[in-house]
Structure 1
């Protein structure tokens, strides 16, 4: 069988619990033959998406924890360089787009926890989360973990964690309308028409218009004394505390395995690929442990980015879009200090509005998934607890939201549990 034919085949049966690649690793010459303009553009668009709204979410979370510019630069170095390398390795080996990035719900969760947890405690939780994800992947129990928690309850937690980002859009419109209103208007104008969306993804258009608004209003305030443009990642020591473990590890692992990886796998399956679920989980866990040393949040298979990478082109060549994304991501990470200085010079309304709009679709989908059919009472309780800012036993509201939602559903929605088991 020719090499060309094998590229369309799904991964071979698993050795142990790790799925085999579909064949030998492709030679560089073959990879270059598979490249094309369509895949280059898809990779560039995926990178621009990741470097706009999602980075604004990191900066917003970092501001909540009063992180220094050096710590933020190291965080961005970790999420771009490390995940860019992982993307290139896995996409090349498995011959399909497997773009890794960082968990956005996890980043939001960390931002809300930094009000009462120290940064070293958070890093310890990152490390333990990575170990837990790796263990689950090695045991081959990923499917069981995804099925253990009712999806509506998980998505209600996500909605609760995301909600304040949406509210921050409204606050920015009232507080700095000259910056926020153009961003919001352009986002929804682009969102309103399919042709416009294909020509310019709404969040990217909003980002560009926001940058113009910042320039016109003179709101750009670069920090003086910047020393370098090139990344100097900071190795940071974790600190292990019970409250950080209880508050962050389980919710972070759930967002990676169930929410983020689950979304990425579903997107790739719809596009005709058969992603190696256990291998993806193990890779996300190992890379999360590595990223924690640089102060970076957990790695995951990126749903929105992979959706952009498979938006067009031949399925067997779409892995080259992921390679493009990975190469460009490494480039962004290597110049993280310059990128952070640029973003920090932007007014707060720019970061809050772009970050909130980047999460708006995810917030909408979370509400839809949480309250569409079953487990609606448990989902409602989870949502209410998650937005309550409850801090019981020094453990944040997201964790207690999951506990409360599952408990309420078990008491009053047993028919939903039975229907799920029957299904």
Structure 2
């Protein structure tokens, strides 16, 4: 039986939703940092499994996207390995540090939309030019966080509108369950059945968390299918390398602002909204500054910008007691550091699994978060603005090389201010 400590029983005093001048630049945790004893007392099977699944998610689909973009952009194997090392190192270090200090599951990763927008850029820009843009974007993200402008901007946008953007981004994970089950029933169907049984029978789910059971059944299905084939050879441990940046106007104008907006609004916005929906008080300004610092670390090793992500934090808060969620973040952070060290081996291992396994696991793990996003977006006020946000984000609108999720929030908020004045007046 878990007995909350005095520090846990206090109300999280990170403060109310921020107003200009109402809070210090660095949001205070409100509780004392967690120590090793706290972690060992609070950790449990549910939280460990959430951390493992969060890592499995990050190490599969997002890594595949990173490798695809890098390979098509002409990066060498050494450059790709360094990129993977950097993003896991920053994700692990930032998550471990922040989760222990704030006693919240503050999961960091790297910008997948930012990675995707690099695809066309790498066709006509050299990699040193792109790395130069990584450095500039990191400085801009850090500067905007240090000025304190991020928190009041994010506080101005109603939560239903932000969660509608989250719902649109997360929707693909739900449809992936259907498509993977249809395309590869031998792997995906047993995973779906395992999740339904463990969720429907609480006595079983108490001893084997549904998502962890889904992962175990999926591994067995993959092995029995005989399709788990790992390429032999190649390095085992990571060998990070420094790429000297080149600062050119072409790369700076094309990439810096889209990368910064993707991190601060799309990625960090999703992460903060998911954490709020789970009952936490995420430190938005510290998020921004931490993203900037670790983006600079990533840039030094040829990696894309660091950020807080919605999917990762949704997985870390998928089950259990709120005051113990931070332990899932710690598990995820520690495993990320291990993955950084073993980046080449991990990459070969994850890419050896069938695509259906990755899609089904990610989709099933995200179902509760997707449900919560829809409920928050459309249950009360600002429903028209939320609907417009959802539709624009789903449409894939891409202006000025900036992700559709950003335009969804901007256009949805503008429509809401124009047509839902009563909701804003009573908010």
CA distance in 2, matches of 1:11, 1:408: 33
Q: Deviations over 1:94-149 (max 9, x none)?
A: 3735644226xx42x34654564439587667655544443344234454122122
**Do the aligned residues in 2 keep the contact of 1:154 with 1:402 (CA within 8 Å)?**
yes
From 14, 37, 49, the equivalent of 1:45 is: 49
CA spacing shift, 1:241–1:161, aligned 2, 3 Å: farther
- Is residue 2:367 matched to residue 1:360? yes
From 369, 379, 383, the equivalent of 2:376 is: 369
Cα offset, 1:200, TM superposition = 2.9
- Is residue 2:342 matched to residue 1:335? yes
CA distance in 2, matches of 1:25, 1:391: 41
Q: What corresponds to 2:313 in structure 1?
A: 303
**Counterpart secondary structure, 1:18:** coil
**Do the aligned residues in 1 keep the contact of 2:160 with 2:381 (CA within 8 Å)?**
yes
Stretch deviating more after TM superposition (189-198 or 120-129) = 120-129
Q: What corresponds to 1:209 in structure 2?
A: 217
Stretch deviating more after TM superposition (175-184 or 362-371) = 362-371
From 153, 165, 189, the equivalent of 2:161 is: 153
**Do the aligned residues in 1 keep the contact of 2:276 with 2:282 (CA within 8 Å)?**
yes
Matches within 5 A, 1:118-197: 118=122, 127=135, 130-197=138-205
CA spacing shift, 1:186–1:24, aligned 2, 3 Å: closer
Matches within 5 A, 1:74-113: 74-90=82-98, 94=101, 96-97=103-104, 99-102=106-109, 106-107=111-112, 109-110=113-114, 113=117
Q: Deviations over 1:221-244 (max 9, x none)?
A: 2224x3111122354558734344
Cα offset, 1:342, TM superposition = 0.7
CA distance in 2, matches of 1:385, 1:279: 29
**Counterpart secondary structure, 1:86:** helix
**Do the aligned residues in 2 keep the contact of 1:370 with 1:379 (CA within 8 Å)?**
yes
Q: How many residues align?
A: 401
CA distance in 2, matches of 1:326, 1:155: 25
Stretch deviating more after TM superposition (345-354 or 259-268) = 259-268
Stretch deviating more after TM superposition (302-311 or 158-167) = 302-311
Structure 1 length-normalised TM:
0.76
CA spacing shift, 1:275–1:391, aligned 2, 3 Å: closer
CA distance in 2, matches of 1:96, 1:291: 25
Cα offset, 1:153, TM superposition = 2.3
Q: Deviations over 1:170-206 (max 9, x none)?
A: 2222221111211222223333344444433333322
Cα offset, 1:90, TM superposition = 4.4
Q: Deviations over 1:38-93 (max 9, x none)?
A: 5375764343122222333313433663647656644543343323333444455x
CA distance in 2, matches of 1:364, 1:183: 19
Cα offset, 1:330, TM superposition = 1.7
Cα offset, 1:24, TM superposition = 10
**Do the aligned residues in 1 keep the contact of 2:267 with 2:307 (CA within 8 Å)?**
yes
From 250, 269, 272, the equivalent of 1:258 is: 269
Gaps in structure 1 of 5+ consecutive residues: none
**Do the aligned residues in 2 keep the contact of 1:210 with 1:350 (CA within 8 Å)?**
yes
**Counterpart secondary structure, 2:308:** strand
**Do the aligned residues in 1 keep the contact of 2:52 with 2:332 (CA within 8 Å)?**
no
CA spacing shift, 1:243–1:259, aligned 2, 3 Å: same
Q: What corresponds to 1:411 in structure 2?
A: 418
CA distance in 1, matches of 2:87, 2:321: 23
CA distance in 2, matches of 1:35, 1:393: 45
CA distance in 1, matches of 2:102, 2:160: 33
From 239, 246, 249, the equivalent of 2:260 is: 249
Q: What corresponds to 1:221 in structure 2?
A: 229
Stretch deviating more after TM superposition (207-216 or 159-168) = 159-168
Structure 2 length-normalised TM:
0.76
CA spacing shift, 1:205–1:125, aligned 2, 3 Å: farther
Stretch deviating more after TM superposition (385-394 or 328-337) = 385-394
